[in-house]
A and B are shown apart, each in its own frame.
Chain A
Amino acid sequence: MTPQGPPRAVPMAKPLTGRAPLWLRWKTMARVAWGMMFHQKLKLAGTLFGVVFATLLANQQLGTFLGLLYKNQMYVKNAGADVWITAPSVQQLPPGRTISDAALLTARAMPDVEWADGVLIGAATMQLPSGGSEPVTLVGVNATRLKGGPWNIVAGDAGAIAQPDTIIVEDAEREKLGGLNLGSRRELNGHRVTVGGITWGLLPFGPSYAFADYEFARRLLRTDRDQMSAVLIGVKPGADPQAVAAQLKAALPDVFVRTGPEFEESIVNYVLRQTAIGITFGTSTVFALIVGFVIVSLSMLSSVVDNLREFGTLKAIGTTNWDLTKLLFVQSMTYAVIGSVIGLGLVTRVAGGIRSPKLAMLLPPQLVFGSIVVMCVLCVLASSLALLRIRKLEPAMVFR
């Protein structure tokens, strides 16, 4: 059956050879992707809710965890020491055991050591005017050099601890300690002390820090004269703390010698491995991500199922599976970026609202950018179900 066609006055249309280059296909599919997303506003809101929820909860959990971690590392981070010497097996502060002052003398004899001071850290009890008592973490430091604290002074002067029987206390605990002010007098471990300064935010995971002159603290803590909690060391300008630590390790085989960053890392490892904090916060973070993943995944799948005819049409009129993969990729990245930015905005407001020395949520830039990256990966993975459905879609369905 081969009839002759009717005569034509115009040239016949010829097979087309043009095909969109890669960048144009991306652009075209992105336009369709955004069009579809913003056309179904309820579905858009539902999917974004999943991303926002996951970002908010994950960052709230991780931010609180980092805040707690910071509380554990706070002293090491702010002590100003390049190298630390502690008793063996000490993984965090306060150290349970003391070391001999031989370590201090050895450190001071090292050529690359600029300064070395002993520090005492121990539990003390403050008597309250009401008759009760409250624990504090008493820190004894060299009152001349003031390495090892105090810092963040908001009232009085750090040098005040050089005065006899004077301590510096934490602002967040003033009420708890019976309404302390500059000049207040209390009994600490059986000794009369005077408040000579107030810090802000020096509230570790345990009782708040109270600072005193080293000798005074030694008497309050009833520590032997030749014993100390740790030795803080500052190296000379240009000297390598790692090299100094290595020399000290060789000279002092019976104690722990670490650089500041190594000690901070040791504390992180301790918290993660020896306590349930890491598992608790880690689990809730993972759950937040799983919930977000499920919401995004089901929303995107539902969006594809609701628009099967449109996807079938797109396939029929020449888009490839790869083109539709681009479409889903653009959608998932858009969900991830918009959702995580909204979620981060909310969590930042929450963090600002609850910020106090007692509960600090830390949101470092790494966590913020990491969240966006994680959400992008999560949303792209969540689009796989939708992609599988699209790949299986026969373009011939548009004729049914």
Chain B
Amino acid sequence: MSHSLAIDARGVTKTYGDGDLAQLVLKGCDLTVPAGEFMMLVGPSGSGKTTLLSILGCVLRSSDGHVHLFGERISGVRESELPRLRLAYIGFIFQGHNLIASLTAEENVAFQLQMRGWSPGDASREARRLLDRVQLGGKYKRLPAELSGGERQRVAICRAVAGNPPIILADEPTASLDATNGQLVTELLRELAREQGHTVVCVTHDNRIFSLADRIVRIEDGQILGEGAGSHAA
């Protein structure tokens, strides 16, 4: 197992429920993602892509199989260890931005930095730098409700990359955005990932942004069906 692999998932299976009600959602998925890759995981609704993303993001446990992040095994670790792993490896971007409504744009980003050990002053400066980077320079003190959908998702991107976690997991980041904003946000995510060396796994069924991926992996009915190179593949 090489540490140049950001994600190494083998035989990942997930079953919800027991007995007759058991529902097999993932059926032995194998997936590897090299460090620094911008990968898109695509498939129809109910194909298991979000479940796989949740397992890779240490927010859900697999029923079977192994997952390693940069060589560290995350499957089978104690429940209480998972928050540490999430802090160490993962930056999340959610479908609905999921910013904390009572915190300003700057505070939402700084919160993540402070949880990663940054002092409040440094966290605030870094949050502003990141917000400047996504053209939200004048909106540090705005609450999420005072921002447009595209702006909120840009704040969410800043929060995800804050502190420079090696892996960014994005769940349908363009789902609530119009075509223009969807393209802009994905391009921004790609740029930031390039600049800072993040590995990105982006779950989407928005074919307008497929062209931005290094690689596209298809999942259907709980199984990885195949892959193809995105337009940005080297």
Contacts and interface: CB of A to CB of B under 8 A. Distances in A.
A13 B232 contact: no
Contacts of A27: 114, 120
Contacts of B120: 24, 27-28
A140 B118 CA distance: 77
Contacts of A314: 100
Contact of B100 (A2, A7, A35, A315): A35
A34 to B, nearest CB: 8
Contacts of B89: 15-16
Contacts of B173: none
A148 B4 CA distance: 93
A316 B234 contact: no
A123 B50 CA distance: 87
A399 B59 contact: yes
Contacts of B98: 309-310, 313, 398
A131 interface: no
Contact of A10 (B80, B111, B112, B197): B197
A313 B117 contact: no
B142 interface: no
Interface stretch (A104-112, A165-173, A317-325, A342-350): A317-325
Contact of A12 (B53, B197, B214): B197
Nearest to B50: A399
Contacts, number: 166
A364 interface: no
A39 B166 contact: no
B151 interface: no
A38 B217 CA distance: 44
Contact of B94 (A1, A28, A313): A313
Tell me what chain A mostly uses at the interface: helix, strand, loop, or mixed.
Answer: loop
Interface in A295-323: 307, 309-310, 313-320, 323
Classify chain A's interface size.
35 or more
B156 to A, nearest CB: 10
A19 B116 contact: yes
Contacts of A399: 50, 53-54, 59, 94-95, 171
B194 A10 contact: yes
B60 interface: yes
B60 A396 contact: yes
Contacts of B107: 31, 35
A396 B197 contact: no
B86 A318 contact: yes
B166 A12 contact: yes
A13 B115 contact: no
B119 A24 contact: yes
Nearest to A40: B102
Interface of B: 4-6, 30-32, 34-37, 50, 53-54, 57, 59-60, 69-70, 72, 80, 83-84, 86-89, 91-92, 94-96, 98, 100-103, 107, 111-112, 114-120, 159, 163-166, 171, 194-199, 214-215, 217, 224, 227, 232-234
Given A18-B117, A18-B118, 12 more contacts: A2-B5, A3-B32, A5-B37, A6-B37, A6-B234, A25-B115, A28-B111, A39-B101, A310-B101, A315-B59, A323-B83, A399-B54
23 contacts: A3-B32, A10-B197, A11-B197, A12-B199, A13-B164, A15-B166, A16-B88, A16-B89, A19-B87, A24-B120, A36-B100, A39-B101, A315-B83, A316-B57, A316-B59, A317-B92, A317-B115, A318-B86, A395-B86, A396-B59, A399-B54, A399-B171, A400-B50
Interface of A: 1-8, 10-21, 24-25, 27-28, 31-32, 35-36, 38-40, 307, 309-310, 313-320, 323, 394-396, 398-400
